[in-house]
Structure 1
């Protein structure tokens, strides 16, 4: 009997590990991950607003975006608190 080819063994191991990881680690980001991403996005937009204003330019569109992101973040946080 021949030993299995190394590539085939490696492929089987990779598939097994991926299957185990998929069962342990959720494929969708958690609500906490989404909240953190939204906080980071708001920080980036706020920094950009400061940069634009420092150049003497109008930042109305960026401010509206930041306000919209804050509103969405507030809704996400409310849903998170309600689910606990």
Structure 2
């Protein structure tokens, strides 16, 4: 990725923020993340946020971390994965 190509995180943060008609300050307030940090994420100056920050942003925006970062989301929780590995009881 070239320095001028926005990351999936930047694109998704911007898109979701605009869809909600929030400015940067509102996103920061609702997520509980500092305004300078949100601004750095949106500008691409900060490229590797902690998972705790991603979770806060995803929760505030009503999405998942995987969707926010552009990763594939299987909609599978760890509990679901455990269920898939269980053998059904014999009837």
- State the TM-score, normalizing by the size of structure 1: 0.28
Structure with a larger share of its residues in helix: 1
Is the radius of gyration larger for structure 1 or structure 2?
1
